[in-house]
Amino acid sequence: MNEFTELRERMVRRQIAARGIEDPLILAAFRVVPRHAFVAEADAEQAYGDHPLPIAAEQTISQPYIVALMIEAAQIAPGDHMLEVGAGSGYAAAVISRIAARVIGIERQPELATLARERIARLGYGNVVIVEGDGTTGWQAEAPYDAILAAASGSHVPPPLVEQLKPGGRLVMPIGDPGAVQQLVKVTKCRDGTLQQSELGPVRFVPLIGQEGWTDG
């Protein structure tokens, strides 16, 4: 067992399982995806710490537990077709790909989209597609989705994302002002088209920029 494998196992035990996430599919996914491969080489030693890390384009890779919490809340299951808004480094999409059948990761920053696409290809995650675009309007070409995760905070849940959910689909994203403590919410699209929303707890994310989000700058 090499150093990173040991650090990854410790991360799963202490940061994820110890906080109550017990789904064996989620734990197995975090055990096999090399988080250190999704950050700068200078940050590799910190990749399995209990905190976010900076990546390119002044963005961040989320704390491992928060990624796990969002996956659990979205009830991602084998066979699911899902969308991740704000793909960033590509790490969360890679983890999700070990559970879901297909993952579309949309990223508005060209630099991040290119880097994530290269990493995903190099590591062999063939059921992940990284696209460049405004994530607040979703990715209609692959809709509808069983689940959508948004890794950035908006003032509201973007209607296009709700529209692109299948009946029974789940959306998990933070809601709140940039720079403030936000609330992680789960929205379920009922079979009759109505929505059920629940709060999962306080979080801090970068702002969701785009047509249905905040303006850049």
Residue positions annotated with a catalytic role = 62
Sign, CA torsion 72/75/81/86: negative
User: Phi and psi dihedrals of 186, rounded to 5?
Assistant: -120, 130
The C-alpha angle with vertex 200 and arms to 194 and 204, in degrees rounded to 5, equals 115
Place of tokens 């919410």: 185
Sorted by sequence, the CB contacts under 8 Å of residue 124 that are 6+ apart come out as: none
Q: One-letter amino acid identity for 168? A: G
CA distances from 36 to 16, 166, 176, 195 (A): 17, 34, 29, 38
